[in-house]
Amino acid sequence: MNLYEHIKKEDKEVFDSIEGEQKRQKEGLELIPSENYTSAAVMEAMGSILTNKYSEGYAKKRYYGGQEFIDQIELLAIERAKKLFGVPHANVQPYSGSPANLAVYLATCNPGDTVMGLNLPDGGHLTHGWKVSATAMFYKSVPYHVSEDGRVDIDEIWQLAKEHKPKLIWTGATAYPFVYEYEKFAEIADAVGAFLAADIAHVAGLVVAGAHPSPVAHAHIVSTTTHKTLRGPRGGMIMATAKGLAKDAELGQKIDKAVFPGLQGGPHDHQTAAIAIALKEAATPEFAAYGKQIVANAKALAETLKKNGLKLVANGTENHLLLVDLVPVFGPGGGIFASEALEAAHMTVNKNTIPKDPSSPFYPSGIRLGTPALTTRGMKESDMKKVGEWIARGVHAVASYKLPEAKEARGPYIEKFKADLAANAEIKTIREEVRAFSKTFPLPEEE
């Protein structure tokens, strides 16, 4: 069935790109841990008639008429979020994770207040106070780091919190293969009077599946995206916990005002409907099994990579993602060689910094990969063994390349590397094996 017949008639150029992307997803392995496949129902909501409506404000308090059914949808999404995560207040209007996090700052801090979050090269997120983000431009950011073993340095956080007395402390990350120790962060935040915000964008689906601890009893605020492991549309949510409302009875209202009118205009109603559907799906026993399978698959993939000669940060994983330390293979800055080689072999990962990276974020020394999307397609531990072997073969196939020390030499060297990839016999062989394997696991829309 052609899902895009009207686009094909209206705009052949866009249609061809969509068709190309559909083919890429179908014939390849999506290993970026922040990506996933939505259900057909979520996809339908995103393309529904709701996209025509403008709904500035909140349910029952809109600035435009014709909101009867929009209000029903938004209230449904809110109630489902509250029930699923066990919180008394939820806002489902953030356009995505970054605006949601910025709204947390607006609700809890004044410009210039001190905030703390995990350093970006150590696995943190831009919006947790990284220097090029607005969150460091308008607030005083004091980043914390990980220890030699890759775990967050709790002793350092204690020391920094006592010294700087932050108004807001973030826990959460984008490249951290451990379970988050929310109770330890709560102890620190409570001791210095800070708000504790848990950004669970990466692990939200694992949390509701019971495959990862929940921060709700420990944090004042929980923010999340609605894609990634939660398997919904690209969107965001902010939740105030009972602990948060006990600290500030107006916290829920402050969050709502921060989202609108503080940062956004009208919500994306089609996105709200898709979030509501995803939350309903996440409340099922099938989703709980899915979340646990993600972690089982990640652990199986980790073991296979190690058996095939690759070094992992943390020597494995406790959640859905893995960080591969490629310094033993390429020396500093070799993430680009692995990511390009694997993409040529139809496996999508992203180059990523590793803790204490000897190179830079632009030329990092690792790759980040995860199992949410592969698990959605029905893959299990035995399949991860095959995937891990392909990844290792792909990396080792280009192990002779090294990033030049001279910056001006890097661009031409990488371009030559990409040209060499087109003729690499091992990469070609892996690509055909991956393509045949991928076709046996349909995308959700094909089922």
Distance in Å from the first CA to the final CA of the chain: 11
368 is catalytic: no
Q: For this structure, is 163 an active site residue?
A: no
Q: Which residues contact 300 (CB under 8 A, 6 or more apart)?
A: 381, 384, 385, 388
Please give the angle made by the CA atoms of 172, 174 and 180, to the nearest 5 degrees.
35
Catalytic, out of 30, 122, 199, 383: 199
Query: Helices (DSSP H) in 167-214: which residue ranges?
Result: 182-192, 204-209
Rounded Cα distance between 270 and 409, Å, is 47
Which one of 54, 381, 389, 420 is the catalytic residue?
54
Name the active-site residue from 35, 56, 381, 445: 56
Amino acid at 254: K
144 annotated active-site: no
Pairing of the two strands 168-171 and 140-141 = unpaired
The residue from 167, 228, 243, 351 that is catalytic is 228
Strand ranges (E), 26-144: 29-30, 57-58, 61-62, 89-91, 114-116, 140-141
Amino acid at 13: E
234 classed as catalytic: yes
199 is catalytic: yes
Cα–Cα distances in angstroms (integers) from residue 8 to residues 41, 49, 443, in the given order:
22, 19, 21
> Beta partners for 347?
29
- Which of 26, 184, 234, 356 is catalytic? The answer is 234
User: Is the Cα dihedral 174, 260, 243, 204 positive or negative?
Assistant: negative
Q: Is there a catalytic annotation at residue 228?
A: yes
In whole angstroms, give the CA distance from residue 30 to residue 53. 33
**Rounded to 5°, angle at Cα 162 from 156 and 165:** 115
Other CB atoms within 10 A of residue 7 CB: 17
CB burial string 120-152: b at 16+ within 10 A, e below: bbbbbbbbbbbeebebbebbbbbbbbbeeebeb
Structure token pair of residue 332: 């500093």
Among 171, 225, 317, 371, which one carries the catalytic annotation?
225
Separation CA 394–CA 189 (nearest Å): 44
Residue 368 half-sphere exposure toward CB, CA atoms < 13 A: 25
Give CA–CA dist 175/172, Å, rounded.
Answer: 9
What does the chain come to in residues? 447
Strand partners, 58: 61
3-state secondary structure of 278: helix
Q: Which residues are catalytic?
A: 54, 56, 199, 225, 228, 234
